Structure 1
Amino acid sequence: MMEEYYKEIENEYKKIDLKWLNLHYKTSVGVVIFAFFVECVIGILMYYTDEISTTIPIYLVKFLIVPCVFNLFCIIINNQVLQSKLIKQESKIYITSLTYVLICFVLFTAHNTFTALYFIFALPILLTTIYGNYRLTTITAVSSMLALAVSELFTKWDVDKESIWGDGIRMGNFLISIFVLIAFSAVCMVVIHFEREKNVASMQKEMERYKLQKKLQIDELTGIYNRIGFRNAIRDMEEDDSDNTYIFVMIDIDNFKILNDTLGHVTGDHCLIKFGEILKNNGEGAIPFRYGGDEFGILFKNYILEDVVGVCKKIQRDFASIRIDKREGLPLTVSIGIAKYSNSMAPSALIINTDKALYESKIVKNTITIFKES
């Protein structure tokens, strides 16, 4: 149960990561669209200020159409990856992060005459911190710095760009930007460290709360659910609006008071413990609980009636076969009542119907009775 609950928490974290992944992708789309409009505005300004050193068609192709088409292609590929059911979520996160780096590389290469664009590479790094993955952030940071270095040192898309090797100021800006990105990446790692510590502490608190909640639902003597656990199971059943079917079983140990009075409460408790073990070992997926005293119950989910009756018969056989010291003359038998649940039925009606069937069984003893509407 603890492992299942832990997996549930992990799945919730994955859902949050998935929401952020979709926002991560939309941010990439937003950057591409925003960059397109900025490029249009800058092109118009440069045209009216005679800053364009080439023909208008070449300018449009080189600084507007080619970068936008390439980035649009990246966005389309990224979208196909996100829609694919064959690719794991972790791989999608890596691909989306690195695609954003590639988009920044294209934008910077096309417009690296603007030194302010040095720090566009900080955005892909920043967006990975939410995932809390050191490896992802490190790979994205290294990729961003490599993309910046390749664009600045080895690529000359704009003929008006000053060579970094012959411009001391540009070389200084480049080195400063690399150091700033390194420092920024280090800060992101610190943020991830504390974010992960917070998540671990939160998960530990949640697990402790879950353990306490489960402890309150467990009968201390038999180790199966108590009446609190039973009420929670009935509540879940009532709130279930799917096609699941439920069958409720109530069980009463025959002659238990005589056993207690003649052999003592220690023997009686031992008998209850053994019976609790029998209930736990029968009915996979069913919920056993101690209703009170020597009365027990089982809530079966998606069982057919014949299978429930078969489980009940096995419970009778298993209980009759156990050995309790000094029980001579006291056969260990149980009486059982069974009733079906329907979505239109109140849970209290289900309990009443099952109790009626149990009452009929207790008259004869060691009998299984199925409730039937009169």
Structure 2
Amino acid sequence: MGDRSGGQDMLRREYDRINAKWLNAHFRAGAGLAAFICLMEAVVYFALRWMGGMTASRSLYIGKYMLAPSGLNLLAVVAALWVKRSRLPLRAKIYTVSMALVFICCVTYTVHNIFPSLCMAFGVPIVLTTAYGDRVLTTMTAAGCILCKTLSDLLFHWDPEASSKLGTAEQNMDFALSLVILAAVYVGCMVMISIEQEKNRISIQRELEKQHFQVEALTDSLTGVGNRQALQQMMDTLAGEGPEPEYSMAILDLDNFKEVNDTQGHMQGDRYLRELGNVLQKTRLGAAYRFGGDEFCILFRSRTKSQLCEACQDIQHSFSEAALSRELEQVTISFGVAVHQPGVGPAELLRRADTALYQAKKARGSICFYQA
């Protein structure tokens, strides 16, 4: 369960990284759209002047159709940028950028409602939200677009020369059709999100199962620590890390464990091994592996001799204080420790630790460091 939870956390962090990356692209799309609208307003201004089709005064046109909408769009971009750079949660940033884009489309459509085809711009904010795979976000964005489109047609008449959007049967039909098209865009986006979520769910499930099987293949089923294959992989990793990685190794086993099996039975012997595995899993200073039988290996990174001795003593104390040791005959643990030395590879270090363990077994429950 812990491995599965860890895998889910890792995938969640990866999704957040991807969403944060798309958020930057989403914001740039909104800022780029605002800049493009400002440019087109300037182009339309000069085109109308050249064709002689401008009925309003120059100052009125610049103020009402260029500066006002560009200023409102700029405020939306600045607000979105401020939120994006704030310490708010990623989800809040995504929603803010999405709503800012809805606002930009609403301003553009309201100011230039003489062009009915601009209502299709409301489809852009909806489509851009599908990359997040968030149904609520897409629904809120679509609702905002449809609401803004409706309010703009019913309440706002920025251009007095433009005819009302409603009144005749044809206008009412165009209004209804535009809303149906936006609703269809929303439904299409929701279908895309559903398909993508199903694909992601299957991929995540397979990845979690793969990680679970990999962990099982490297974990000793009885004690819960790494098995011999995991130890070999770690030793191969150490051998390829560089000329002088600083690490130390300790080999430990239960004293007179064969006698425990002979007198108390293998079931009780397995209980001792499981209890020792529980103790070793709680060791923070090193990584534990079951070497074979009742022998275990602990790999320590960048630890002093005193720290190694203290870690071994803590394991001995924790095992002696376990409920099993009070219920059954108390069994001691012996340690053989080999401290890292320049030019000594992991295989040789393991052999030295085994030699030190042989010396430690002469005095049960002792800790012996390898001496050349």
Question: Under a length normalisation based on structure 1, what TM-score does the superposition of the two structures give?
Answer: 0.85
Q: Does structure 1 retain, via aligned residues, the 8 Å contact 2:290–2:296?
A: yes
Root-mean-square deviation (CA), in Å? 3.2
1:117 offset after TM fit, Å?
A: 0.5
Output the CA distance in 1 between the equivalents of 2:178 and 2:101.
18
Q: Specify the alignment match of 2:332 in structure 1.
A: 333
Instruction: Name the structure 2 match of 1:81.
Output: 83
Contact 1:357 1:369 in 2 (8 A): yes
1:122·1:181 contact (CA, 8 Å) conserved in 2? yes
- 1:286-297 to 2 correspondences below 5 Å: 286-297=286-297
Q: Which amino acid aligns with 1:298?
A: I
Q: CA deviation at 1:225?
A: 1.2
Unaligned runs of 5+ in 1: none
User: Alpha-carbon deviations, 1:174-211, whole Å to 9, x = none?
Assistant: 22110111121112112222222222211111111111
Cα distance in 1 for partners of 2:237, 2:96 equals 40
**Count of residue pairs the alignment pairs up:** 366
Paired residues for 1:237-316 under 5 Å: 247-256=248-257, 268-280=269-281, 282-284=282-284, 286-300=286-300, 305-316=305-316
Q: Which residue of 2 aligns with 1:162?
A: 163
Amino acid at match of 1:292: G
Indicate conservation of the 8 Å contact 1:267/1:324, yes or no.
no
Local SS of the residue matching 2:208 = helix
Alpha carbons of structure 1 residues 239 and 57: separation in structure 2 relative to 1, 3 Å: farther
AA in 2 matched with 1:293: G
- Would you say the 8 A contact 1:238–1:343 is kept in 2? no
- Cα deviation for residue 299 of structure 1 reads 3.1
**How do 1:314-329 residues align onto structure 2 when only pairs under 5 Å count?**
314-319=314-319, 322=324
Task: Indicate whether 1:212 and 2:213 are aligned.
Answer: yes
Where 2:52 maps in the other structure, the secondary structure is coil
Q: If the length of structure 2 is used for normalisation, what is the TM-score?
A: 0.85
- The worse-fitting range, judged by mean Cα deviation, of 284-293 and 252-261 is 252-261
Aligned position for 1:36: 38
Please give the secondary structure, in 1, of the residue aligned with 2:288. strand
Bigger shift: residues 346-355 or 121-130: 346-355
Deviations 1:247-295 (A, max 9, x none): 5322133444565677765565454334323323x42474321022332
Quick one: structure 1 residues 117 and 263, their matched pair in 2 at CA, closer, same or farther if it must change by over 3 Å?
Answer: same
Q: Within 1, Cα distance between the matches of 2:337 and 2:92? A: 50
Alignment correspondent of 1:198: 199
Deviations 1:9-58 (A, max 9, x none): 11111111111111111110111122122222222222111121112222
For residues 351 and 55 of structure 1, what CA distance do their matches in structure 2 show? Answer: 90
Check conservation: 1:247, 1:305, Cα contact below 8 A: no
The residue identity in structure 2 corresponding to 1:310 is E
Equivalent residue number for residue 53 of structure 2 = 51
Distance 1:24 1:252, change over 3 A: same
- In structure 2, the residue matched to 1:172 is 173
Answer with 258-267 or 215-224: which moved more. 258-267
CA distance, structure 2, for counterparts of residue 97 and residue 15 of structure 1: 18
Deviation at 1:142, TM superposition (A): 0.7
For structure 1, which segment, 336-345 or 16-25, has the greater mean C-alpha deviation from structure 2 after superposition? Answer: 336-345
- Matched residue SS, 1:128: helix
Say whether the 8 Å CA contact 1:271–1:324 is kept in structure 2.
no
How far 1:234 moved relative to its partner? 5.1
